[in-house]
Amino acid sequence: MTQQQKSTIARLRGQGMSYGEIGRRTKLEPNAVKGFCYRQHITVLAQAAEPGVPIVAPAVPGLCKHCGAPLQQREKCKPRKFCCDACRRAWWNAHPEASQRPAASKFVNCAYCGKEIRGANRRYCTHEHYIFQRFPDRRAS
């Protein structure tokens, strides 16, 4: 990608043009344009201050979300949010609402003992109860 193509991409993206349109004008693949914009933090906001001026997103905060320690960001990698695994685990344990995973909210009763268990596709609370229910002769006397 030439320097001229890079400046053209930044200018056109600042005007609100799509990756495909920019790719056709610069004779580049849309994914190459998208990757360049991502790496350079070039984005388009609905209310641009001045038309024709590319809006550069603020740099990724260089502090750990949990302890506030400075982070070393690596090129061509996803931006780091935590300084170590311990901070990552502690932050996620303290902020379970930030997870985008759906909770397993269906409660059923174990078919053997009747204990309430959580899980959409479970019928028994333990494997041992499954065996006892399926093979009654294996129960401990």
Q: Characterize the bridge pairing of strands 42-43 and 55-56.
A: antiparallel
94 phi, psi to nearest 5 deg? -80, -20
The stretch 20-26 carries a mean pLDDT of 91
Q: What pTM does this model have?
A: 0.35
- Give the tens place of pLDDT for each residue, 66-112: 887 888 888 888 888 888 999 999 988 888 777 776 655 678 888 88
Q: Cα–Cα distance between 58 and 70 in angstroms, integer?
A: 17
The pLDDT value given to residue 140: 59
Q: Cα–Cα distance between 79 and 71 in angstroms, integer?
A: 9
Domain ranges of the chain: 1-82, 107-138
Q: CATH number of the domain at 1-82, out of 1.10.3470, 1.10.860, 1.20.1070, 1.10.10?
A: 1.10.10
48 phi, psi to nearest 5 deg? -80, 145
Inter-residue contact 92 to 98 (CB < 8 Å): yes
